Amino acid sequence: MRPRPLLVANWKMHKTVEETRAFGRELARRLEELAGAGPLPEMVVCPTFPGLWPLSRTMVGTGVAVGAQNLDLGREGAMTGAVSGYLIAEAGAAWVIVGHSERRQHFGETDALVAEKVAAARDVRLTPIVCVGENEDEYRRGETGAVLDRQIGALLDRLSGEMWSELVVAYEPIWAIGTGRVPSPEEADRTAAGIRDRIRDRHGAVADGVRILYGGSVSPKNIEQFWRQPAIDGALVGGASLSVSDFVAMAMVGMNL
């Protein structure tokens, strides 16, 4: 039997603290109604930094985990504006998204920095969800494989086999993020399998334990086709995760797989 799928909400720069709490309370209520209906997917919600502590308090006892959307290197120190993994974990998060394409694009994060951040996350026992994927031009030119060689290669160079056993990779084609366009499920599956092969080439069977998510315009309508693919273990959802109803609808799809 396959493990429970993983459903991760990436709220990006959305929701005030009050809105975050309200989402959490409503989600808890809806999940209570579903109790006993079947195994739900594993769920992680990634709010803004100010939302971490209030959401983690609201989710206590629900089985829903909380994650951050980024971390900075180090623990504490003279780093104005930075938030370390240590502080994130202390604020009640167990997960962290690393190297999202928006971080790479707007904040200049390089493959090497992303790999460093993944290692830093593991140091404080946060589970990293590291994002990879090609942009529109690279996709058109058929360069997805080369992009993944570079992005996964940087991770392989930095991380030990043991670190991979606690890692989630999200394949997010940049041209599918927020656009309503998606690759075919078969194509996403082939790419996910290719990511696992790259890890297997270096670390053997450890690769089988790495969960690989698909992300990019996932919605209640299309999530099932991605989840049914053999190499895809879950979804990283942006826009559609901002509504409790859509989030619960996606969780229910996971329950019926």
Told to judge if 172 belongs to the known catalytic residues of this protein, a careful annotator would answer: yes
- Sole binder of ligand PGA in the list 172, 189, 233, 246 (CB under 6 A): 172
The residue within the footprint of ligand PGA, chosen from 5, 6, 7, 10 (CB under 6 A), is 10
CA 172 to CA 170: how far, in whole Å?
6
Angle of the 17-34 helix axis to the 244-255 helix axis, nearest 10: 30
Residue position matching structure tokens 């991770």: 155
Taking the complex as a whole, the smallest distance from the CB of residue 168 to ligand PGA amounts, in Å, to: 13
Per CB under 6 A, the segment of 58-66, 140-148, 197-205, 216-224 that binds ligand PGA is 216-224
Query: 250-254 long-range CB contacts below 8 Å, 24 or more apart?
Result: 250/7, 250/218, 250/219, 250/220, 250/223, 251/7, 251/31, 251/34, 251/40, 251/41, 251/43, 252/34, 253/220, 253/223, 253/224, 253/227, 254/4, 254/5, 254/7, 254/40, 254/41, 254/223, 254/227
Catalytic residue (one of 109, 134, 172, 203): 172
- Least Cβ distance, residue 103 to ligand PGA (angstroms): 10
Looking at the Cβ atoms of 24 and 67, the one nearer to ligand PGA is 67
Q: How many residues would you count in the chain?
A: 257
130: contact with ligand PGA by CB under 6 A = no
Report CA 74 to chain centroid distance, whole Å: 22
177 binds ligand PGA (CB under 6 A): yes
Active site residue 203: no
Residue 90 token pair? 């202390």
Q: Which residues contact 88 (CB under 8 A, 6 or more apart)?
A: 49, 52, 68, 71, 96, 124, 126
Subset of residues 59 to 118 that bind ligand PGA, contact rule: CB under 6 A: none
Select which of 42, 100, 102, 134 is catalytic: 100
CB of 104 to ligand PGA, least distance (A): 12
Q: Give yes or no for residue 233 binding ligand PGA (CB under 6 A).
A: no
DSSP 125: T
d(CA 200, CA 69): 27
Cβ at position 19, least distance to ligand PGA in Å: 17
Interface residue with ligand PGA, options 45, 163, 188, 237 (CB under 6 A): 237
Measured from the CB atom, the residue of 67 and 203 that comes closer to ligand PGA is 67
Question: What is the binding site for ligand PGA (CB under 6 A)?
Answer: 10, 172, 177-178, 215-218, 236-240
Catalytic residue list: 100, 172
